[in-house]
Amino acid sequence: MTKLMDSRFKAGDNFYDEQFYRCYERIGYPKQWIDEGKGYAPSDSYIISHPSWYLGEMPAIPEISIYDLFKETVKKYPDDTAVISFDKKITYRDMDIMIGKYAALLKDLGIKKGDVVAAMLPNSLQHWVAFFGAAQIGAIHTPINAMYQEEEVAYQIEDSGAKIILVLDLLYERVKRLKEGKKIEHIIVTNAKDFAADDAVIFQAVKPLWDIPKKKIEGTFDFFESIEKYAPLKESFKCSPKDDIALLLYTAGTTGRAKGVMETHFNLVYNSISHFHAAEKLLEARKKVNYSIMPMFHTAGYLLYPLPTFYQGGTVIPMPLFDLEETLRLIQTYGVNVLFAPPTLFIALMSREDLLHKYDLKTLELTIGCGAPVPPAVQKQWQSLTDIGLSNGWGMTETNSGGSMCIPGSGKEKADSIGYPVYAEMKIVDEGGHIVPRNEQGEILFRGLQVAKGYWNKPEETKKNISE
């Protein structure tokens, strides 16, 4: 086992050992950044992660599209289960066929590289097909919050320039005027029941989606009926990973209207790989099974933890809405071992100790809070009730989810910490932008290869907040 390196504060120049340089050279980290970081004093509020702090070795990052990364998994594990949605399973091979058919439909509807395609769906197989189908042909996927009302939807469609939207039929009324007003060219619809087992367990929270009868909507394309008319597209577009945008996520930040954050193919490939290898040895006995509750209009809906799970060949269970007992049933039934969720989810589970002990949770190995800090008291209670560690992380849309993480089993866990940057750097600065000594308050500045390309059509905002 690799010896755990002390913090730079304690280790001094010994921190920069052969393992450190080998890792950062392998992943293509700029030497200039490392040299700049070495210029800070050990007493300054600056940190760059050491590779010994993680539970797997970070490989070189392939310069490919996020779809081609998924395709590599399809080749390795064609018959393994990729997704379980409403108790219905689909293999990697069959999911890739579905993606190829959707990509062919988009291409036939005139979508080209660089065009934006929207999706207004809860977490579902259809949403993942939409994401990878757009990526296969070089289109840009922009997910819209399923809770948005008509005006908010219209703003994102107009700002992004999306040409097509895939929408849950229940939400059709919120988008139909966009086509009538020629703000969008085509609407594709799908029903919650379109991909579900005949004997699916339908929990109370999802009944409003489930009880809507499926009906034909004039002037739209039915998702599954339409893609069945196409042979799956075999080829994928020629990608320039650090330049080509795969995902356009809208984030409100603290002021003004939502801004579109441009996530490149490299961003998504980098964090899919880094997030997996950061905790790899926790799950070496079997593949990941990820209960995916974080919404897909949010960065965590992609990288905490579905995309790293697809990279490893595991199984993603997309959850459209939270239900306490359904969560426990899914963990037990399908052997869920990875759970990233807001603190409120863990608090809700612990509020029903009777149910918590009714179900077998022994498969759970990696539980991390996201979206808000997990108080130490909640971490302690979760550990005592389940014998599973619960820790924190920090990130934002601009860092592609996990900017920093406190990995259970790393030897560096601390209940009141957001962890350490994921193969990246952080420092704390004062109002003048000057680095502050350790243990002083200030603003976090983050630097790493996972930082987004910038804000959509907002060069000044990009220059101000995201710089090289």
Q: Where in the chain are the domains?
A: 66-79+90-227, 267-453
Average pLDDT score over residue span 372-391: 92
Is residue 89's pLDDT more than 70?
A: yes
Is residue 457's pLDDT more than 60?
A: yes
Average pLDDT score over residue span 190-204: 94
Q: How confident is the model at residue 409 (pLDDT cuts 50, 70, 90)?
A: confident
Q: How confident is the model at residue 468 (pLDDT cuts 50, 70, 90)?
A: low
pLDDT recorded at residue 24 = 97
Is residue 286's pLDDT more than 70?
A: no
Average pLDDT score over residue span 231-237: 95
Least confident of 131-135, 324-328, 341-345, 410-414: 410-414
Which position has the higher pLDDT, 323 or 257? Answer: 323
Nearest alpha carbon to residue 334 among 350, 320, 314: 314
Q: What is the 3-state secondary structure (H, E, C) of the chain?
A: CCCCCCCHHHHHHHHCCHHHHHHHHHCCCCHHHHHHHHCCCCCECEEECCHHHCCCCCCCCCCCCHHHHHHHHHHHCCCCEEEEECCEEEEHHHHHHHHHHHHHHHHHCCCCCCCEEEEECCCCHHHHHHHHHHHHCCCEEEECCCCCCHHHHHHHHHHHCCCEEEEEHHHHHHCHHHHHCCCCCEEEEECHHHCCCCCCCCCHHHHHHHCCCCCCCCCCEEHHHHHCCCCCCCCCCCCCCCCCEEEEEEECCCCCCCEEEEEEHHHHHHHHHHHHHHCHHHHCCCCCEEEECCCCCCCHHHHCCHHHHHHHCCEEEECCCCCHHHHHHHHHHHCCCEEEECHHHHHHHHCCHHHHHHCCCCCCCEEEECCCCCCHHHHHHHHHHHCCCEECEEEEHHHCEEEEECCCCCCCCCCCCCCEECCCEEEEECCCCCECECCCCCEEEEECCCCCCEECCCHHHHHHHCCC
Q: Any idea which architecture 267-453 has in CATH?
A: 3-Layer(aba) Sandwich (3.40)
Is residue 2's pLDDT more than 80?
A: no
Least confident of 31-35, 212-216, 308-312, 341-345: 212-216
Is residue 378's pLDDT more than 60?
A: yes
pLDDT recorded at residue 209 = 84
pLDDT recorded at residue 255 = 61
pLDDT recorded at residue 166 = 98
Is residue 46's pLDDT more than 90?
A: yes
Mean of the per-residue pLDDT values of the chain: 93
CATH number for the segment(s) 66-79+90-227: 3.40.50.12780
Is residue 467's pLDDT more than 90?
A: no
Which position has the higher pLDDT, 105 or 182? Answer: 105
Pair of tokens at residue 271: 């964090």
Do the two domains 66-79+90-227 and 267-453 of this chain adopt the same fold?
yes
Q: How confident is the model at residue 208 (pLDDT cuts 50, 70, 90)?
A: confident
CA quadruple 352, 354, 357, 359: dihedral positive or negative? negative
Is residue 29's pLDDT more than 60?
A: yes
Q: How confident is the model at residue 1 (pLDDT cuts 50, 70, 90)?
A: very low
245-284, pLDDT tens digit by residue?
Answer: 999 999 875 567 899 999 999 999 999 999 999 888 766 5
433-453, pLDDT tens digit by residue?
Answer: 999 999 999 999 999 999 999
The number of beta carbons lying within 10 Å of the beta carbon of residue 452 is 23
Which position has the higher pLDDT, 209 or 101? Answer: 101
pLDDT recorded at residue 88 = 98
